[in-house]
């Protein structure tokens, strides 16, 4: 059959297009029935190292989305050598399992932030957000001076309850708390307890002193806390080379 015949015959074109689409769909769907999970197992000493965000980190993530940071910064390192050399190990599905919505992004006007946590000091992040050109002279990123305003956190428990409805394991009662202790360890489980959400947020902000001022809890505290945790939940040195490839 000539290609011209297919292009000029609507019936043939529709039938053959549907066949091609069906084959492509089967290639993507069928393998899912032969694997147990699409999310990697990331455990050290029997505890999951990838956890939901603490109340302060969660509020920081909300601010990150509010300011549209995802429009210029991706949070997904692709499995290519150049990306590995610049940003680190490729992103795992497990690292986004508690993100609703995920922050993979679609472009990189600025660098990828998937592993920015711990790369710079808190003071660097504050200066960068206040006036990016203070630390990166060639930056075209806008200033965000309003982040020094007080953080609204009275509704953080409600935000955690909302995420709990879509599967994020924040605990609201003793059985759920004990399940988190078993899965993440007591220290993490304490921070995921909805009942103590506000107190945990205040304590983390004061201890971390992310904006350099312990007298106030600001949006800067929350956003820097969020940025500093990105990419830090997996210590790849504790896993054998090729371990995560077995989940693909």
Contacts of 211 (CB under 8 A, 6+ apart): 122, 126, 148, 218, 220, 221, 224
173-231: pLDDT as tens digits? 999 999 999 999 999 999 999 999 999 999 999 999 999 998 899 999 999 999 999 99
- State both tokens at 93: 């599905």
Same domain, 19 and 52: no
Count of domains for the chain:
2
User: What is the 8-class DSSP label of residue 150?
Assistant: B
89-131: pLDDT as tens digits? 999 999 999 999 999 998 999 999 999 999 999 999 999 999 9
Same domain, 61 and 8: no
Give the span between the Cα atoms of 176 and 168, in whole angstroms.
11
Give the span between the Cα atoms of 1 and 204, in whole angstroms.
69
Positive or negative torsion for Cα 80, 83, 89, 90: negative
Same domain, 66 and 107: yes
Same domain, 111 and 11: no
Same domain, 236 and 181: yes
Same domain, 89 and 9: no
Q: Can you give the CATH number for the domain in which 137 is found?
A: 1.10.760.10
Same domain, 29 and 141: no
Same domain, 169 and 198: yes
Domain hosting 24: range is 3-34
Same domain, 56 and 122: yes
Smallest CA-to-CA distance from 223 within 148, 156, 158, 162 is with 148
Q: What angle separates helix 156-164 from helix 55-66, to the nearest 10 degrees? A: 90
Same domain, 28 and 88: no
Same domain, 160 and 211: yes
Same domain, 17 and 85: no
List Cα–Cα distances, 92 to 40, 103, 110, 114, 247, in angstroms: 7, 13, 21, 10, 10
Question: What average pLDDT does the chain have?
Answer: 94
Is residue 1 scored above 70 in pLDDT? no
- State both tokens at 87: 């940003």
């Amino acid at each position: 059959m000539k290609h011209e015949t297919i292009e000029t015959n609507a019936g043939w074109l529709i039938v053959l297009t549907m066949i091609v689409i069906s084959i492509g769909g089967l290639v993507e769907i069928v393998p899912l029935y032969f694997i147990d999970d699409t999310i990697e197992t990331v455990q050290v000493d029997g505890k999951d190292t990838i956890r939901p965000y603490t109340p302060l980190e969660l509020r920081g993530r909300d601010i990150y989305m509010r300011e549209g940071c995802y429009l210029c910064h991706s949070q997904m390192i692709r499995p290519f050598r150049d990306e590995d050399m610049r940003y680190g190990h490729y992103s795992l599905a497990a690292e986004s399992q508690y993100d609703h919505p995920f922050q993979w992004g679609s472009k990189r006007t600025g660098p990828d932030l998937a592993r920015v946590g711990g790369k710079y000091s808190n003071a660097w992040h504050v200066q960068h957000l206040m006036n990016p050109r203070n630390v990166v002279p060639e930056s075209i990123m806008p200033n965000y001076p309003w982040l020094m305003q007080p953080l609204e956190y009275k509704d953080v428990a409600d935000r955690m309850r909302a995420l709990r409805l879509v599967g994020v394991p924040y605990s609201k009662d003793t059985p759920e708390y004990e399940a988190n202790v078993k899965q993440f360890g007591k220290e993490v489980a304490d921070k995921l307890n909805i009942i103590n959400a506000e107190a945990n947020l205040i304590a983390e902000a004061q201890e971390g002193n992310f904006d350099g001022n312990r007298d106030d809890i600001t949006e800067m505290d929350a956003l820097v806390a969020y940025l500093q945790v990105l990419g830090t939940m997996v210590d790849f040195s504790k896993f054998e080379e090729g371990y995560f490839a077995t989940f693909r």
